[in-house]
Amino acid sequence: MKLAACFTFAFSLALSFPLAMTACVSANAAAEQCRFVQEKVEREACYQRQEAARADRQKAQAAREAEQSKPLEPMASDDVTLARAMRGICRGC
C-alpha cells in the first residue's frame, strides 16, 4: 500500500513538472510577442499594454512587501508593559 502511494506521488510529480515548465515558457513567449507585430501602431499598443501590466505587477509586489514589513501594532502595548515590569527588576544586585 505504501509502495503504491509512493508511485502515485512520483507519477503526479512527474506530470506536474512539464506542465509548470510549459506555463513558464508560454508566459515568457507572451512577453516577447510584441516585437513580431508588423504594424507599428499595433506594436506600440502591445508594448504599452505590457508596460501597464508590468507596472501593475510592481505595485502589487510593493504592496505585498509593505504589508509584510509593517510592524505588528498589537505587540506595542505588550512591549510597553514588559518595559515597565523590567524597570522594577534589580539590575546587577
Domain edges within the chain: 1-31, 34-70
Q: Give the residue ranges of the chain where pLDDT is below 70.
A: 1-32, 70-74, 90-93
pLDDT at 67: 81
Is the pTM for the entire model greater than 0.75?
no
Distances (CA, A) of 48 to 1, 10, 42: 55, 43, 10
Nearest CA to 30 among 60, 50, 44?
A: 50
pLDDT at 50: 95
User: Would you give the distance in Å from CA 69 to the centre of its chain?
Assistant: 14
DSSP label at 92? Answer: -
